[in-house]
Structure 1
Amino acid sequence: MKIFKYASLLLSLCAAFTFCACSDMTEIENKPYDHIGGYNTMNNAESEKYYADLRAYKQQAVNYGRPVAFGWYSNWSPAGTYRRGYLTSMPDSMDIVSMWSGAPNRFTITPEQKADKEFVQKVKGTKLLEVTLLSYIGKGRTPQSVYDEVEKQAEKEGWANDLSRVEEAKKKARWKFWGFNGVVGSDNHKEALARFAKALCDSLVANDWDGYDIDWEIGSGVFDMDGTLSTNADLIYLVKEMNKYIGPKSDPEHKGHRLICIDGHFSPLTKALDGYVDYWIDQSYGRMTYFDYYDVDPKTIITTDNFESSFKSGGVLLRQAKSMPTKGYKGGVGAYRFDNDYDNTPNYKWMRQAIQINQQVFKERMGNASHP
């Protein structure tokens, strides 16, 4: 499908702005209005070249060619003239964005979301990830009809007000759907995990998301565990199964694949899943990432700050952007709920500076022969 289609869809949503191209894509965030390229109709040679150069810049990050700009996006609402909720309002050189607001499927996505999503993916080359706080088999993939049947039965038999019984029945119905017999650690349990892994990946592909971000925070007050996906061993097995379809092991010839990322409590996972995860995203909120602490190549580690609380001041994001491991280079820099930075002046003030610094320290590191 030609990129002109996506541009025309966005044109119906917003007014056109003056275009400003930038020939050196490593300096793409030097001007605070670079993102206005997202509003153009791509009806001239200059804008076509700009987006071609932008996509080429994004390709430089493939296989860890350079550090990435990352963020969790929290308020996706691309409708009306106020631009805050549009992905197209992000800095053009955002490489990877995890959809904290949710990743709707092809049946629930709105026309405005579809146009916004496709323009960012197809024209700008930004990768959009589904993200879930995983805690049980079937989360996010169990059909609603499975639970509806339980509620109908409860209503018919008169126990609909017994909430604990309803929840227990829903759990058992979910287990039955995924073929789990209730014995944790059994071969049957692994078979159910494998089915869930395939469903996660199949749906990701069907709905055209560019990867999966696993938020792994077991032990930090996760309240909806049912025992089926509550240990590091469970997640290790699940991720290895997912690599049959997406992730680095699915792409031995490096032709391109949908990403697998893990954020949260990942330090106990790195050794077992080395080579199965594209990026480990450190929730290093308000502090620096200790790259040498993790038993993985630092090129796979993204350091992040918390823009839920520090978007006005910028927190430590710029310091994180400047930081580097003892040897090599980091995977990237980003922020949780980075879309809050839109409200600064200029919009995305801190993220744009972080992107510049992120690439500058990388170029300096690569220019130093003592740091391969």
Structure 2
Amino acid sequence: MKNLLYIFIGVLVSFFLLHSCEMDEENITTQKPLTADETYYENLRYYKQTDHPICFGWYAGYANTSSPSMADHFTGLPDSMDIVSLWMGIPSGETWDEMQYIRKVKGTKVVLCSFTHMSDGEYPLTNEGMEEFAMYLVNKVMNNDLDGLDLDYEPEGDWLKDDQFTKFIQFIGQYLGPKSNSGKLLIVDFTSKTRPQAGCEPYVDYFVHQMYGTSSAYTIQQKFDEISSWCPPEKYVPAEWLGNYPDTGGVFFTEADGNKIDSWGNPIYSVIGMARWNPTQGRKGGFATYYFEYEYNTTRPANQSIGDKESTPIPYYSLRRGIQEQSPAIR
């Protein structure tokens, strides 16, 4: 069964070629999402339910509701993407329907994204105010039947930090996350400057570390080592700001053994480098990207000017190939 699963992963991450149609009046080309038979989608949903390293991303393109580009539609996202974080709030109308489609048919989880700031005066800076803010977020997840909550922990002097943030997580953890038995995810994003405390760990499914512009496996390992005493490797997810590097998929990346080439002979950049990397302590939780929709119209891996060996471009190259590198198919 495991071998069949990995073979399936290889098939589905290769399932990317999109049909196009010509609009006569304006002579512009738009793309239609591919469809597949129910067996494919059953296998896809099964894969999403297995214990495997995830592909996670903050997504904003859906806010461009009139865009003809599949980069701006939930139905255009890579099928094998595990978790999408709603960077532009909860959608409505046809966009809501598209979001529900990828959840129900493709098994993709969609979570609410929120900053954790409380210093704007909306809630009192007390334990009671903290609980009121927490319940506002929990209710937003529950009332919209989302798959969980993604908290962006960048306090920058905000009251809700350190011990208060740990209390905040422990309170939310009654309703979301691994201790809640709700089936809903609780995710914490953080930077190297403002890391959550160890007391948060039992209540959180994934810790997504903003490692933007990181060029080596050595650096990622160093950063993970700093929290490895309390963070299990399978909860740790390094993230790259893909929107800053749509043409390459990140910064040029060197692996721990000095390797700089991916499985197809193309140079490794940081998104795929993070997907290939695992800490010395064990398997990581996955890899993540911010503003990944900017890479939809990539020329990779057909950009010979940066050393690519292949000639056919792949939409969402870093995400698709990253998933394959992270969970290689058995051929």
TM-score range, shorter chain: 0.7 to 0.9
- Is residue 20 of structure 2 the alignment partner of residue 52 of structure 1? no
1:109-145: CA deviation from partner (whole Å, max 9, x where unpaired):
2x211111110111111011111122117x8xxxxxx
- Give, in whole Å, the separation in 2 of the partners of 1:79 and 1:341: 19
- Is residue 244 of structure 2 the alignment partner of residue 309 of structure 1? yes
Tell me by how many angstroms 1:310 deviates: 1.1
1:247 to 168, 173, 177: 177
1:211 counterpart residue number: 148
Counterpart code for 1:310: Y
1:263 to 186, 189, 196: 189
- Give, in whole Å, the separation in 2 of the partners of 1:311 and 1:203: 32
Tell me by how many angstroms 1:232 deviates: 1.6
1:128-183: CA deviation from partner (whole Å, max 9, x where unpaired):
1111122117x8xxxxxxxxxxxxxxxxxxxxxxxxxxxxxxx3xx44xxxx4xxx
1:127 to 106, 109, 114: 109
Tell me by how many angstroms 1:49 deviates: 1.1
- Counterpart contact for 1:284–1:305, Cα < 8 Å: yes
Identity of aligned residues (%): 29
Higher Cα Rg, which structure: 1
2:137 to 193, 200, 204: 200
- Is residue 232 of structure 2 the alignment partner of residue 293 of structure 1? no
1:203 counterpart SS class: helix
2:128 counterpart residue number: 191
Counterpart code for 2:118: Y
Counterpart code for 2:42: A
- Counterpart contact for 2:13–2:78, Cα < 8 Å: yes
- Give, in whole Å, the separation in 2 of the partners of 1:325 and 1:57: 23
Tell me by how many angstroms 1:336 deviates: 0.9
- Counterpart contact for 2:32–2:70, Cα < 8 Å: no
- Counterpart contact for 1:70–1:97, Cα < 8 Å: yes
- Give, in whole Å, the separation in 2 of the partners of 1:236 and 1:38: 42
Give the TM-score of the pair, scaled to structure 1.
Answer: 0.67
Structure 2, unaligned stretches of length 5 or more? 20-30, 251-269, 299-312
Whichever structure has more helix as a proportion of its residues is: 1
Alignment CA distance shift 1:268-1:71 (3 Å): closer
Alignment CA distance shift 1:95-1:206 (3 Å): same
Counterpart code for 2:232: D
1:167 counterpart residue number: none
2:76 counterpart residue number: 89
Tell me by how many angstroms 1:80 deviates: 5.3
Counterpart code for 1:294: I
1:250 counterpart SS class: coil
- Give, in whole Å, the separation in 2 of the partners of 1:100 and 1:52: 28
1:352 counterpart residue number: 320
- Give, in whole Å, the separation in 1 of the partners of 2:106 and 2:18: 12
Superposition RMSD in Å: 2.6
Counterpart code for 1:214: L
1:351 counterpart SS class: helix
- Give, in whole Å, the separation in 1 of the partners of 2:145 and 2:47: 21
1:302-340: CA deviation from partner (whole Å, max 9, x where unpaired):
111111211211111111111111132000012111111
Give the TM-score of the pair, scaled to structure 2.
Answer: 0.75
- Give, in whole Å, the separation in 1 of the partners of 2:9 and 2:226: 29
Tell me by how many angstroms 1:81 deviates: 3.5
2:27 counterpart residue number: none
1:70 to 56, 62, 69: 56
